[in-house]
Structure 1
């Protein structure tokens, strides 16, 4: 009799994206170019954007995947637009392993979850008590 084959673990469903990749390298190089054009050091840009200097270094080297909001903040601090930062960025990446299934599960969950205001008893206003 054969032992039951165990199903793949569902615990680690985070997509694996290898960094640096073509997209993060290209954006990092453009970010560095605009920073140098603005005559700012990594330290100055980090201060202006309220992030750590090491984060600027990692961004410029393509070692982290910044959020759109982080990029928008950095663009603001460099007096450029997101359009300027992404100009000429033509690289694309295929979905990361397990990413499609994970996105579909997350989307299905989001569609089933009620909005916080529709949850029974969800009154988030602070109530004052008399002392």
Structure 2
């Protein structure tokens, strides 16, 4: 019988911060405010801010709606 070690903390702060910077750069280059992006993506304004600051690890669902709101392919966020 195999035993798998449970990984509890898989959060990589540098990756999360880099993603937030990329999101902010793309948002600014499209001329959207955080509020406009939040409205387009139908997510809370506070969530956009926390993602851009690298404070939270966004879900794939959030990343997907952000890409759609920015009118880009999801891979462009990475």
**Same fold, judged at TM 0.5 (above):** yes
Unpaired runs of at least 5, structure 2: 1-5
User: Is 1:63 aligned to residue 43 of structure 2?
Assistant: no
| Number of residue-to-residue matches in the alignment | 73
Q: 1:10-61 deviations in whole A, cap 9, x for unaligned?
A: xxx8823557x11100100000000001100001111111111110000001
Q: Is the 8 A contact 2:11 2:57 kept in 1?
A: no
Q: Using the alignment, how far apart are the partners of 2:40 and 2:30 within structure 1?
A: 13
Structure 1 runs of 4+ off > 2 angstroms? 16-19
TM-score (norm 2): 0.84
Q: Using the alignment, how far apart are the partners of 2:58 and 2:72 within structure 1?
A: 17
Q: 1:106-125 deviations in whole A, cap 9, x for unaligned?
A: xxxxxxxxxxxxxxxxxxxx
Higher relative contact order (CA 8 A, sep 6+): 2
RMSD: 1.7
Cα offset, 1:83, TM superposition: 1.4
TM-score (norm 1): 0.51
Higher helix share: 2
Kindly name which structure, 1 or 2, has the bigger radius of gyration based on alpha carbons.
1
